[in-house]
């Protein structure tokens, strides 16, 4: 991890923790998924740190950030992330988000188009899809999610790593320690936050229609657990003109963990194009 630093910022109420690789380089903010935290991006940060200043943020309720009782939807988390970006004085950073973090990046780019210079989306939940889930489906989704999170909190670190190694034999060993550490640090408030779909109240067509920065959607295989299908990926392309799409076959929801090299093969040229076009 070299000379990486860490710190806190007061953003939208809670105190949020971040880890930063540093240097006078184009800034890239990394927004993790539900139950992960900033250091889960360590393999990606190590691969990018020679060219970019990586800022790995712990979302509220995760990692070393404060865990309020509410505010776990993408709208509030986008405001949190905007606070981090402005507090650290990051000028038009790229924002790379996974799952929950990808939803955060979408809402941030649509509500604060002045802040991100580009967004990269690793298998976001397709909340924008026109065929919204019925209330019963949403309720079932919340019950299953809370049960999964609660089960994780009951396991020891050794048990978590063993189970995940068996479930995902393709993951590099470097992914497992930060993944398990994040589960241990997960705030209990997060578990009770999903009584309803977290994006309730967001006008997705209007929000996404305001996105003006370059955007990359990274998809994988639905049969392996990826959430973005060809159909709802096409819907997002309609809502976000100019959206680029990179499909990584053989991967599921954790695209970068399942197939790291192809994932980075999509990320690196996109970031290089963005960095080359940034004003000095």
pLDDT digits (tens, 9 = 90+) for 169-191: 999 999 999 999 999 898 888 87
Q: Hey, what domains does the chain have and what are their CATH numbers?
A: 5-131+201-277 (3.40.50.1820)
* Alpha helices in 57-129, H assignment, sequence order: 74-87, 100-111
User: Contact at 8 Å (CB) between 166 and 176?
Assistant: no
Q: pTM for this one? A: 0.95
| Residue-level pLDDT, tens digit, the chain, 280 residues | 668 999 999 988 999 999 999 999 999 999 999 999 999 999 999 999 999 999 999 999 999 999 998 889 999 999 999 999 999 999 999 999 999 999 999 999 999 999 999 999 999 999 998 655 555 555 677 788 888 888 888 899 999 999 999 999 999 999 999 999 999 898 888 877 776 678 888 999 999 999 999 999 999 999 999 999 999 999 999 999 899 999 999 999 999 999 999 999 999 999 999 999 998 6
């Amino acid at each position: 991890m070299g000379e990486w630093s860490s710190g806190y910022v007061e953003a939208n109420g809670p105190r949020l923790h971040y880890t930063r690789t540093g240097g006078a380089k184009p800034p890239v903010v990394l927004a993790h998924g539900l139950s992960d935290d900033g250091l889960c991006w360590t393999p990606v940060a190590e691969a990018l740190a020679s060219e970019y200043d990586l800022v790995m943020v712990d979302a509220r309720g995760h990692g070393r950030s404060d865990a309020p009782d509410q505010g776990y939807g993408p709208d509030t988390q986008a405001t949190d992330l905007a606070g981090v970006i402005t507090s650290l004085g990051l000028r038009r950073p790229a924002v790379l988000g996974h799952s929950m973090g990808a939803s955060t990046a979408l809402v941030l780019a649509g509500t604060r188009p002045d802040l991100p210079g580009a967004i990269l989306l690793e298998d976001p939940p397709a909340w924008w899809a026109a065929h919204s889930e019925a209330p019963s489906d949403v309720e079932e989704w919340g019950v299953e999610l809370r049960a999964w999170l609660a089960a994780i909190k009951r396991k020891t670190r050794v048990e978590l790593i063993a189970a995940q190694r068996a479930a995902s034999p393709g993951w590099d060993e470097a992914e497992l320690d930060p993944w398990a550490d994040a589960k241990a640090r997960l705030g209990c408030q997060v578990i009770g936050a999903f009584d309803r779909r977290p994006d309730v109240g967001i006008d997705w067509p209007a929000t996404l229609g305001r996105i003006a920065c370059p955007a990359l959607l990274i998809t994988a295989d639905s049969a392996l657990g990826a959430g973005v299908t060809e159909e709802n990926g096409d819907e997002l392309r309609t809502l976000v003109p100019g959206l680029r799409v990179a499909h990584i076959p053989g991967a599921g929801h954790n695209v970068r963990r399942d197939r790291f090299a192809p994932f980075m093969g999509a990320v690196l040229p996109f970031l290089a194009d963005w960095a080359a076009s940034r004003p000095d």
